[in-house]
Structure 1
Amino acid sequence: MNPRFPVPPRCNPSRHLLALTIATVLAGATLAPTAWSAEATAIQRFDLKAEPLKLAVERWSQQTGVRVEADARTLAGVTSSPVHGDYSAGDALAALVQGTGLRVVQGPDGFTISGDRATALDKVEVNSSRVGYATERTSSATKTDTPLRDVPQSVTVVGQQLIRDQAMQSMADVVRNIPGFGMAQGEGNRDAPVLRGSPSTADFFVDGLRDDTQYFRDLYNIERVEGLKGPNAMIFGRGGSGGLINRVTKVADFNDGNELSFLAGSWRNLRLTGDTNHAINDRVAFRVTGVYEDSDSYRDGVSIERRGINPTVAFKPGDATRIVLGYEYFDDDRVADRGIPSLAGRPYRTGTSTFYGDPDQSPTGVTIHAFNALVEHRFDNGLELRNSTRVADYDKFYQNVFPGAINAAAGTVAIAAYNNQTDRRNTINQTDLTWVASTGSVQHTLLGGIELARQETDNLRLTGYFTGIGPNVTTFNAPLASPRIALPIEFRQSATDAQNHGIAETKAIYLQDQIEFSPQWSAIVGVRHDSFDVDFTNRRNGVETSASDGLLSPRAGLIYKPAEAVSLYGSYSIAYVPRAGEQLSSLSPTNAAFDPEKFKNLEIGLKWDVMQDLAFTAAAYRLDRTNVVVPDPNDPTLSILVDGQRVEGVELGLAGNLTENWSVMAGYAWQDGTITATQSATVTRGNTLAQVPRHSVSLWNRYDFSPTWGIGLGAIHRSSIYASTDNLVELPGFSRFDGAVYYTISPRLQTQLNIENLFDKRYYPNAHSNTNITPGSPRAVRLSLTAQF
């Protein structure tokens, strides 16, 4: 095991010599030649992306603890080659400068980078060891590979190791580790995050490209999940009002390996995942990930079956070019479960497993075909080109027979039904150019890009009629003692059911400059303009509506670093949600005339790399939502715009390794979300936002007693929340504890036992409305076996 090293001091770019010297944690002394020699020859796992060579060398030195000397003028304007795999330190450094015209020379007390051409060193293969929960860098927040402490924005990354250790299977499992984020019920048919008080089903991205159809996402092909807080329109375009969730996928990366994992758990939870990754030669590699799951639930009549496969192939036609092509087929079929009703302002006290409605007539499913292409090229002058394309077809259907209000006097609960079909076809292309330049002592990382997108959507809603009772009866009053029903239901259009066709086109251009004024001061400034056009057809009445918005989204952030490992920042950003709504399904001649909803975020924060593998973050923010359409109180036939809501909050996070054997992921959020203007008879000024807890805490620890045995222990706490913005029904606060045991049978065979809700706590994690509340799972056990070969 390599000793831990603190982050080295950042060098002044105006100096002619770049001397990156790493000291040991305990002694604080420069490594002696014998020590650095051992470090230089030890095999390590490297994951270094293409970036300005100065930054890449700095990151390499942080990891290896080895000194590098180079003339800063030699490194200026040069971009490194990506390095992924198992290398010695010297081999990795040589690979970084491959194709740059530079040469790595080994000396008696370190390495020197000179202006002569480098010679690539041989790659050495070795099995990687378990990594912790800390993430050093991100490309999503700025579209350039940047250390997290240099991003003036709150970002939480849930990496592969935490996904494995908690045996995560859903986005709801992920977001409980992200301070300020939560997950609503989504009518039992979709992921429905609440992002800093803003509910959304569209603020999902995959590898930086929009993935906005309503469905449940899986994690079988995911390397990590990034939660980016606050408006992100400068990078991602419309939406992203309170934040967004970006999934980074596993792709072919020239590392050989196979993995197969089987999980079995309570209520016949059965799941199989696989991952095979191979380099055919030094120019072509392929990877295939897959999943199959067939599970029941603690809820009566609820089941899930899903399958997915995601092959990718990577090409390196030259040292400066990389091409990655991928296709995903994903199919998810389950029962839409909308939970239980409420009574007297609280969830109705009933059995956790009791289903209200008819699970046999509540199917929901999605089938996705998605093609992705990535082309990256590095020019000799340091200019980098990145082009990403996603073409995706979504076929989504859901039908639900679900509960409404309880009639306590009669001892009944209202049951209703409807279904909805949505077909969406997305074509998205992004082209980014980055260039590292200097103006005197000031360094710039410049980004310019364009995005072209077309989204075509068809949707149809049908209402359920209980024809056995009457031809036009839409509600059945079921006895509370027996709320699961089995009645004939006919689905047909009511007078108000939607049947729409819409085409949304986006043409966007964006510019960004990451400015390094000195080792202590830096900034990010950027602006994006979206030309967003919607053509909308109501097929019920033939009315065609069009809307065009020119969305100008600025972003500015200032960073001060009193020490290399500490950054203080302030940021300002704006995002918009057009009148067609996040799902592009609600445009009408009335609302098309109004300006889009606007979200403005002010944020200050602290990021501190306490140790090389342990990061602490803190952020305080104010997020305002304006341009909300409400009826005019003086004339209900008209509509007006009002300021809608304000969320103020504080977020704390800790991720990484406390010791060599102790990993931790912890988060805390304080949120105060308030309606700032009356919007209806029930949503009045001063009300609290729905499903926004005042306090929420997440904590997960893993401690390895030996290379064979380890344990995990975690806790989730959430204060009470309101089910909706009328504040009539409250879900009580709760604390839940989880645990795990890890056992390594052999270097290539591991098993783990995860226990959710250790003390079998009754709780209610989320809701969709006052009458659709999800009961939390009783104690659940999952046993998994993973083999690498």
Structure 2
Amino acid sequence: MTAAFSIKRSRLLCALAIFAPLTTLADDTLVVTAKPQTAVTPTDGYTAKTSQSATKSDKPLVLTAQSVSVVTRQQMNDQNPVNVNEALNYTPGVFTNFSGGATRYDTISLRGFHGGDVNNTFLDGLRLMSDGASYNALQIDPWFLDRIDVVKGPSSTLYGQSIPGGLVNMTTKRPQFANEGHFRLQGGNNNTMGGAFDYTDAINDEVAFRLTGMTRTSDTMYDHQREERYAISPSLLYQPNEDTSLLLRAYLQKDPSGGYHSAVPAEGSIYSAPNGKLPRSFFDGDSEHNVFKRWQQIYSYELTHNFNDSLTFRQNASYTHSNTDLEQVYQIGWTPDYSMMNRWFSAETSSLNAYTVDNQLEADFNTAALVHKLTFGLDYQSFTNDTLGVSAPASQLNPYTGEQVTPVLDDYTRTPNTRRYRQTGAYLQDDISLDNWNVILGTRYDRMVTKNTTPTDTGRRQDDYISARGSVLYHFESGFSPYVSYSDAITPSTLQDSTGNLLTPMTSKQYEIGLKYQQPGSSSLYSIAAYDLTQNDVTNRIVQGSYNEPVGKVHSQGVELEARSKLTDRLSGTAAYTYNNLKYKETVDGTDGNTPYLAPRHMASLWAQYDAGLGINLGAGVRYIGKQWADNQNTLRVPAATLLDASVRMNMDSVAPSMKGAYVQLNVNNLTDREYVAGCYGTGYCYWGTERTVVATVGYDF
């Protein structure tokens, strides 16, 4: 293990220096609240004390033997993210926004693994049932969320299929038995406009409701592109007694225009092409074939019943229906003389239906001095996605004059395709405590079936897999909690190779050691984690042709540091540092020893929120994204970038007491308007980073 984590001493000292002031100023004050904070109660401030995501039961983070980061509602309110990508900007081990200003999908990489961008997101503990082999990928707006838990490392033992780097579990706002409301209007650059509301109250002693909604439109930073979204989420909570609860939810979202999602070559972004760089507003598409529409519906429920003090049953289930419609022309590289861009055309209509259910039976009991929390689970998830699509050459484009040359895009014959995926799993976990010791042992069996049907062929693949995890943690009375853990995962997919065959599932295993610190009575939490992670049977995406190809293994070693602290009564903040060393191993394409693209070795961030008095709150942040490779052959680097963000909020009751609850807020991301490349899928497909965004908010909380 020592050799696995060889990092230059100076780098580690620099990282620790970020955290030293926070540790020195840690808040020692015991905060007394009316109700203890749990994983499903509203978060308060910048630090969550507990989480369900790592163990599927409510557990203090300082006692969780795994690296888990939580983005709270307060942090989202202060930073005002427009998508989950932005909400995770200040989280260690997480690289988001590598598609830059293209916000159609949530692109999230954890510990260097991005899993096709869509295979690592969950909503209220259940997988978001996107189809990574199509354009039908779900997206949840952060206005509907109370918290975002980022669980790092393989997590198949509890969740089945999982990418090696971990998962992102989004928790929606729940109905409350107390009156609470929020309303806001927004406007910003690029003709951005929007509004949102959120209201919850009790109907009677047993029933509470919540209704949340939003709308937003924007012309985006790209020419001839706009985004438009409407979403609403009603929910109803029934609690006849303290032992039983039933939560019903619906999430309805319509995106009539999904904005831009394309890229530019490295020649023209990272460095100049013969005729100069391409502007960040560059649009490589065709106005007659420029469509992305998404209409998604998620209906879910959570049932909890305590049979007695020792036995609890939980059932979470959801049904998802999602339609998408895409027509897009996009560049695939320069002609040899750099006078024109070759282009490709893709079109797809898609209709996805998905079901998920997770049944859990939890038993609390003792054997001699050992205290057990035993969880047995059965879960099932499946989707069927019917698509009608085409992929073919399109006309060439002169990016500087807009001239297009033959072949002219015609109506191509679309091919029907049906993809089906089914996973059935059974898992068992024992969370054992003995005095200050905590041990978790878990195992799981999965059967995964993938089927792909075209007019000429049917491909089917079945895989059976047993996963395991284990961890040991010791909690000192002083607040320190060292731990060591092991976990593994399997990542099946509906992806195909160039011949149409379904790809072999990827498997992974990880060893992690870490240390957490939370001073008794304090809400501040500090952590450091070091890991050694290997994934087998890795594939790479081939953009032109829309298929994947086998590569070999990827070995990831790294260190993550995080501090979430209330430094004083007026100052709160979060700080993070990530060191991630990714390498290909035993490859078949000559990349052995190289670093995969979309994997910066160093990342760091710092955000501080300060109550300046007189009703004014100031926020400021800095994000550093280190150098990364533009291609797996490691021929070209994407330069590092340092980005500044800021916010200012004024509560209007400081001006007039009668305006209590009203406020105005201004958020600016990329304050200096830094021009940078966010990431590349090879040298032919690089994404410009988001330009400076300015959003003003007028709101009312009641």
The reply to whether residue 251 of structure 1 matches residue 174 of structure 2 is yes
- Using the TM superposition, give the Cα deviation of residue 338 of structure 1 relative to its aligned residue in structure 2, in angstroms: 1.1
Specify the alignment match of 1:338 in structure 2: 262
Specify the alignment match of 1:674 in structure 2: 583
Whether the aligned pair in 1 keeps the contact of 2:553 and 2:584 (CA below 8 Å) is yes
- Using the TM superposition, give the Cα deviation of residue 265 of structure 1 relative to its aligned residue in structure 2, in angstroms: 0.8
For these two proteins, the number of residue pairs brought into alignment is 647
- Using the TM superposition, give the Cα deviation of residue 485 of structure 1 relative to its aligned residue in structure 2, in angstroms: 5.7
Call closer, same or farther: CA 1:320–1:27 in 2, change over 3 Å: closer
Structure 2 residues not aligned, in runs of 5+: 1-25, 131-136, 541-547, 654-659
Could you state the TM-score of these two structures normalised by the residue count of structure 2?
0.87
1:553-584: per-residue Cα shift (whole Å, max 9, x none)? 10101102233521111111111122xx2xx2
The reply to whether residue 786 of structure 1 matches residue 699 of structure 2 is yes
Structure 1 residue identity aligned to 2:565: G
Which of the numbers 292, 308, 322 marks the counterpart of 2:245? 322
Instruction: Provide the C-alpha distance between the structure 1 equivalents of 2:485 and 2:533, rounded to a whole number of angstroms.
Output: 12
Call closer, same or farther: CA 1:684–1:344 in 2, change over 3 Å: farther
Specify the alignment match of 2:506 in structure 1: 597
Q: Which moved more, 1:604-613 or 1:554-563?
A: 604-613
Which of the numbers 431, 435, 452 marks the counterpart of 1:536? 452
Call closer, same or farther: CA 1:26–1:446 in 2, change over 3 Å: closer
1:74-105: per-residue Cα shift (whole Å, max 9, x none)? xxxxxxxx9x69xxxxxxxxxxxxxxxxxxxx
Q: Which moved more, 1:724-733 or 1:549-558?
A: 724-733
Instruction: Provide the C-alpha distance between the structure 2 equivalents of 1:505 and 1:755, rounded to a whole number of angstroms.
Output: 43
Specify the alignment match of 1:771 in structure 2: 684
- Among all aligned residue pairs of Structure 1 and Structure 2, give the percentage whose two residues are the same amino acid: 25
Which of the numbers 727, 732, 735 marks the counterpart of 2:639? 732
What pairs with 1:677-688 in structure 2 (closer than 5 Å)?
677-680=586-589, 684-688=591-595
Which of the numbers 608, 616, 624 marks the counterpart of 1:701? 608
Call closer, same or farther: CA 1:563–1:197 in 2, change over 3 Å: same
Instruction: Provide the C-alpha distance between the structure 1 equivalents of 2:402 and 2:587, rounded to a whole number of angstroms.
Output: 36
The reply to whether residue 620 of structure 1 matches residue 620 of structure 2 is no
Structure 2 residue identity aligned to 1:434: E
Which of the numbers 390, 397, 414 marks the counterpart of 1:478? 397
What pairs with 1:87-102 in structure 2 (closer than 5 Å)?
none
Q: Tell me, what secondary structure is at the counterpart of 1:346?
A: coil
What pairs with 1:272-351 in structure 2 (closer than 5 Å)?
272-332=195-255, 333-343=257-267, 346-348=270-272, 349-351=277-279
Specify the alignment match of 2:297 in structure 1: 369
Call closer, same or farther: CA 1:265–1:629 in 2, change over 3 Å: closer
Specify the alignment match of 1:46 in structure 2: 35
Instruction: Provide the C-alpha distance between the structure 1 equivalents of 2:80 and 2:164, rounded to a whole number of angstroms.
Output: 30
Instruction: Provide the C-alpha distance between the structure 2 equivalents of 1:479 and 1:363, rounded to a whole number of angstroms.
Output: 22
Instruction: Provide the C-alpha distance between the structure 1 equivalents of 2:62 and 2:403, rounded to a whole number of angstroms.
Output: 52
What pairs with 1:541-620 in structure 2 (closer than 5 Å)?
541=456, 543-578=457-492, 581=493, 584-586=494-496, 596-610=505-519, 612-620=522-530
Call closer, same or farther: CA 1:360–1:157 in 2, change over 3 Å: farther
Call closer, same or farther: CA 1:489–1:258 in 2, change over 3 Å: same
Structure whose CA Rg is larger: 1
1:102-137: per-residue Cα shift (whole Å, max 9, x none)? xxxxxxxxxxxxxxxxxxxxxxxxxxxx94211110
- Using the TM superposition, give the Cα deviation of residue 479 of structure 1 relative to its aligned residue in structure 2, in angstroms: 2.0
Structure 1 residue identity aligned to 2:156: A
Which of the numbers 121, 143, 148 marks the counterpart of 1:225? 148
Q: Tell me, what secondary structure is at the counterpart of 1:743?
A: strand
Q: Tell me, what secondary structure is at the counterpart of 1:165?
A: helix
Specify the alignment match of 1:270 in structure 2: 193
What pairs with 1:165-204 in structure 2 (closer than 5 Å)?
165-183=78-96, 184-185=98-99, 189-200=104-115, 201-204=118-121
Q: Tell me, what secondary structure is at the counterpart of 1:241?
A: coil
What pairs with 1:409-424 in structure 2 (closer than 5 Å)?
409-424=337-352
- Determine which structure has greater relative contact order: mean sequence separation of CA pairs < 8 Å that are 6+ residues apart, divided by chain length: 2
Call closer, same or farther: CA 1:205–1:481 in 2, change over 3 Å: same
1:610-649: per-residue Cα shift (whole Å, max 9, x none)? 471211111111110113479xxxxxxxx99874111111
- Using the TM superposition, give the Cα deviation of residue 26 of structure 1 relative to its aligned residue in structure 2, in angstroms: 9.9
Whether the aligned pair in 1 keeps the contact of 2:497 and 2:549 (CA below 8 Å) is no
Instruction: Provide the C-alpha distance between the structure 1 equivalents of 2:91 and 2:403, rounded to a whole number of angstroms.
Output: 36
Structure 2 residue identity aligned to 1:715: V
1:736-764: per-residue Cα shift (whole Å, max 9, x none)? 11111111112311221111122221112
Q: Tell me, what secondary structure is at the counterpart of 1:765?
A: strand
Instruction: Provide the C-alpha distance between the structure 1 equivalents of 2:267 and 2:499, rounded to a whole number of angstroms.
Output: 39
Instruction: Provide the C-alpha distance between the structure 1 equivalents of 2:623 and 2:339, rounded to a whole number of angstroms.
Output: 35
Call closer, same or farther: CA 1:718–1:27 in 2, change over 3 Å: closer
Call closer, same or farther: CA 1:319–1:589 in 2, change over 3 Å: same
Whether the aligned pair in 2 keeps the contact of 1:229 and 1:243 (CA below 8 Å) is yes
Which aligned segments of 4 or more residues in structure 1 are displaced greater than 6 angstroms?
A: 25-28, 587-590, 639-642
Structure 1 residue identity aligned to 2:180: G
Which of the numbers 420, 423, 426 marks the counterpart of 1:503? 420
